[in-house]
Amino acid sequence: GNRLLIFAQPDQVFIWDVTVPLGQFLFVTSICDPLVSELNSMFPNE
C-alpha cells in the first residue's frame, strides 16, 4: 500500500502520500496555505 506522512500543526493537519511527486505536494500546499490562512481569519479559533 501507499505510505503516508502526516504533518500535524496546532491548527491543521497535512496528509502527504509519499508516492506523490514532491513538486505536486509543494504545489498543493502553496494553494492550501493561503486558503487555510483566509479560513482562519474568517473563522477564528479563539
**Structure confidence by residue, pLDDT tens digits, 5-44:** 667 777 776 666 666 666 676 777 777 777 778 877 888 7
pLDDT at 30: 75
Residue 1's pLDDT band (cuts 50, 70, 90): low
Is pLDDT larger for residue 4 or for residue 27?
Answer: 27
**Length in residues, the chain:** 46
Three-class DSSP category at 11: coil
Three-class DSSP category at 18: coil
Q: By residue range, what is the domain housing residue 27?
A: 4-42
Is pLDDT larger for residue 1 or for residue 31?
Answer: 31
Per the structure, how many domains does the chain have?
1
